[in-house]
Amino acid sequence: MSQSLKIVSVLGTRPEIIKLSPLLPRLPEVCDRSIIVHSGQHYSYEMEAQFFEELHLPSSDYSLKAGAEGRGAGEQTALMLARLEPILQAEQPALVIVQGDTNTTLAGALVAAKLGLPVLHLEAGCRSFNRAMPEEINRVMVDHISHILLAPDHTAMKNLLNEGCDRHAALHLVGSTAIEACQRCAEFALHRPLLSQLDKNLRPGGYLAVTLHRAENTTPQVLPGLVQTLNQLAADWPIVFPVHPRTQLAIRQNGLHLDSRIITIPPLGYLDMLSLVYQAQALLTDSGGLQEEAAALNTPVLVLREETEWSYLVEAGKTVLVGNAYPQTIAAARAALQPTALETMRAATFDTCPDVTQAILNIIRAFLHLGATPHAAL
Ligand code: UD1
Distance 290 CA to ligand 1 centre (A): 7
Torsion of CA 49, 199, 324, 335, to 10 degrees: 140
- Residues 138-157, mean pLDDT to the nearest whole number: 97
Of 14, 19, 106, 301, best ligand 1 pocket probe by most atoms within 8 Å of the beta carbon: 14
- Residues 112-128, mean pLDDT to the nearest whole number: 97
Query: What residue ranges line ligand 1, CB within 6 angstroms?
Result: 13-15, 18, 100-102, 135, 211, 213, 242, 267-268, 270, 273, 287-290, 293, 309
By annotation, the residues acting in catalysis are 213
Confirm if 67 and 40 have CB atoms less than 8 A apart: yes
Provide, rounded to the nearest whole percent, the portion of the chain with pLDDT above 90.
89
Nearest protein CA to atom 35 of ligand 1, as residue: 287
Nearest protein CA to atom 4 of ligand 1, as residue: 102
- Residues 38-58, mean pLDDT to the nearest whole number: 88
Helices (H), 22-133: 50-54, 73-91, 103-114
Q: Which atom of ligand 1 is nearest to the CA of 270?
A: 22
Nearest protein CA to atom 8 of ligand 1, as residue: 288
Nearest protein CA to atom 15 of ligand 1, as residue: 288
Edge to edge, the sheet with strand 319-321 lists 262-265, 239-242, 208-211, 282-285, 301-303, 319-321
Distance 60 CA to ligand 1 centre (A): 20
In the prediction, which pLDDT does 373 show? 54
In the prediction, which pLDDT does 372 show? 59
Confirm if 31 and 94 have CB atoms less than 8 A apart: yes
Question: The pTM is what?
Answer: 0.92
Query: Does residue 22 sit in helix, strand or coil?
Result: coil
Query: Does residue 108 sit in helix, strand or coil?
Result: helix
Of 287, 297, 309, best ligand 1 pocket probe by most atoms within 8 Å of the beta carbon: 287
Distance 287 CA to ligand 1 centre (A): 5
Torsion of CA 359, 156, 217, 304, to 10 degrees: -90
For the segment 191-235, what is each residue's pLDDT rounded down to a tens digit?
899 999 999 899 999 999 999 999 999 999 999 999 999 999 999
Q: Which atom of ligand 1 is nearest to the CA of 138?
A: 11
CA 320 → CA 127, 290, 335, distances in Å? Answer: 17, 13, 11
Q: What is the mean pLDDT of the chain?
A: 94
Distance 69 CA to ligand 1 centre (A): 18
CA 42 → CA 11, 46, 154, distances in Å? Answer: 10, 9, 30
- With a cut of 60, say whether residue 376 has pLDDT above it: no
CA 355 to chain CA centroid, nearest Å: 19
- With a cut of 90, say whether residue 46 has pLDDT above it: no
Distance 219 CA to ligand 1 centre (A): 18
In the prediction, which pLDDT does 67 show? 85
Provide, rounded to the nearest whole percent, the portion of the chain with pLDDT above 70.
97
Nearest Cα neighbor of 292 from 17, 13, 19 is 19
- Dist. CA 125–CA 14, nearest whole Å: 20
Give percent helix, percent strand, percent coil of the chain, each to the nearest 5.
Answer: 45, 15, 40
For the segment 241-292, what is each residue's pLDDT rounded down to a tens digit?
999 999 999 999 999 999 999 999 999 999 999 999 999 999 999 999 999 9
Nearest protein CA to atom 22 of ligand 1, as residue: 270
